[in-house]
Chains A and B, each alone.
Chain A
Amino acid sequence: DAMVIQNPRYQVTQFGKPVTLSCSQTLNHNVMYWYQQKSSQAPKLLFHYYDKDFNNEADTPDNFQSRRPNTSFCFLDIRSPGLGDAAMYLCATEQFFGPGTRLTVL
Chain B
Amino acid sequence: QQQVKQSPQSLIVQKGGISIINCAYENTAFDYFPWYQQFPGKGPALLIAIRPDVSEKKEGRFTISFNKSAKQFSLHIMDSQPGDSATYFCAASIKGASGSARQLTFGSGTQLTVLP
Known: A41-B109, A42-B109, A102-B41. A96 touches B46 (CB 8 A): yes
Residues of A within 8 A of B46 (CB): 95-97
Per-residue CB contact flags for chain B residues 88-116 toward chain A (1 = under 8 Å, else 0) read 01000000100111111011110100000
Per-residue CB contact flags for chain A residues 79-95 toward chain B (1 = under 8 Å, else 0) read 00000000000101011
Residues of A within 8 A of B101 (CB): 30-31, 33, 48-50, 55
Whether A48 and B103, one on each chain, are in contact in the complex, defined by CB atoms closer than 8 angstroms, is: yes
Residue of A nearest to B32 (CB): A95
Residues of B within 8 A of A6 (CB): 43
Whether B107 and A42, one on each chain, are in contact in the complex, defined by CB atoms closer than 8 angstroms, is: yes
Residues of A within 8 A of B41 (CB): 100, 102
Query: Count the A-B residue pairs with Cβ separation under 8 angstroms: how many?
Result: 51
The interface on chain A, measured as residues whose beta carbon lies within 8 A of the other chain's beta carbons, has a size of 25
Known: A90-B43, A102-B41. A95 touches B100 (CB 8 A): no
Whether A97 and B109, one on each chain, are in contact in the complex, defined by CB atoms closer than 8 angstroms, is: no
Q: How far is the CA of A31 from the CA of B96 in the complex (A)?
A: 11
Chain A binding site: helix, strand, loop or mixed by DSSP? Answer: strand
Q: How far is the CA of A40 from the CA of B45 in the complex (A)?
A: 16
Per-residue CB contact flags for chain B residues 28-63 toward chain A (1 = under 8 Å, else 0) read 000000101000011111100100000000000000
Residues of B within 8 A of A50 (CB): 96, 99-101
Q: How far is the CA of A48 from the CA of B42 in the complex (A)?
A: 20
Whether B43 and A99, one on each chain, are in contact in the complex, defined by CB atoms closer than 8 angstroms, is: yes
The 7 closest A-B pairs by CB, nearest first: A42-B106, A97-B43, A31-B101, A50-B101, A100-B43, A99-B43, A97-B44
Q: Which residues of B contact A (CB under 8 A)?
A: 34, 36, 41-46, 49, 89, 96, 99-104, 106-109, 111
Q: Which residues of A contact B (CB under 8 A)?
A: 4, 6, 30-31, 33, 40-43, 45, 48-50, 53, 55, 90, 92, 94-100, 102
